[in-house]
């Protein structure tokens, strides 16, 4: 039976690594190392959840692309419409004369969202794509 509540454990770390970690803790505004370590553990669990293809997640797909690329806008729209059941919203930003940034908010099974992300980021004219995810269920 799993016990709820706070548990203590020790961590051994090389001095230089601990010094760099403490600098990160301070820069990010954590009140102590424990909070920072909890966030790192949560993130590792979330990253691992990507391996569970049936896991329900929410997240975003970030795309940076040249909007002058022939047929790119039509193809982006076609793919998103085909997978409308996982696309919640999109936001489109014009960065300059040539480049756009699009954020697509998604929710669904990891395997479906990963498929969508792969289809979008592999299109000719998409210069950068990133899929970020968080579990829908509490860790």
Is 67 annotated to bind a ligand? Reply is no
Is 68 annotated to bind a ligand? Reply is no
> Does the global pTM surpass 0.85?
no
Both tokens of 41, joined, read 């553990």
**CATH number of the domain bearing residue 90:** 3.30.70.1150
Q: Does 7 reside within a domain?
A: no
Is 84 annotated to bind a ligand? Reply is no
Q: What is the pLDDT of residues 27-83, one digit of tens each?
A: 989 999 998 898 888 777 766 665 666 778 899 999 999 989 999 999 999 999 999
Residues 38, 94, single domain; the answer is no
pLDDT band at 1 (very low <50, low <70, confident <90, very high): very low
Residues 19, 61, single domain; the answer is no
Residues 43, 89, single domain; the answer is no
Residues 44, 60, single domain; the answer is no
Is 100 annotated to bind a ligand? Reply is yes
Tell me the torsion sign for CA atoms 79, 84, 90, 92.
positive
Residues 64, 119, single domain; the answer is yes
Return mean pLDDT, the chain. 88
Nearest to 80 by CA among 96, 67, 70, 91: 91
The domain in which residue 29 lies consists of: 15-49
Residues 126, 72, single domain; the answer is yes
Q: What's the domain count of the chain? A: 2
């Amino acid at each position: 039976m799993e016990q709820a509540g706070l548990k203590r454990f020790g961590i051994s770390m090389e001095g230089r690594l601990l010094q760099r970690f403490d600098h990160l803790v301070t820069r990010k505004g954590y009140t102590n190392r424990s909070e920072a370590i909890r966030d790192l553990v949560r993130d590792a669990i979330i990253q691992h959840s990507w391996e569970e293809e049936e896991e329900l997640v929410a997240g975003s797909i970030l795309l940076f692309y040249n909007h002058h690329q022939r047929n790119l806008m039509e193809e982006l729209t076609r793919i998103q419409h085909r997978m409308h059941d996982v696309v919640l919203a999109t936001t489109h930003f014009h960065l300059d004369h040539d480049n756009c940034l699009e954020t697509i908010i998604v929710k669904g099974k990891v395997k479906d969202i990963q498929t969508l992300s792969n289809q979008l980021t592999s299109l000719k004219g998409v210069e950068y794509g990133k899929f970020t995810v968080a579990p829908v269920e509490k860790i």
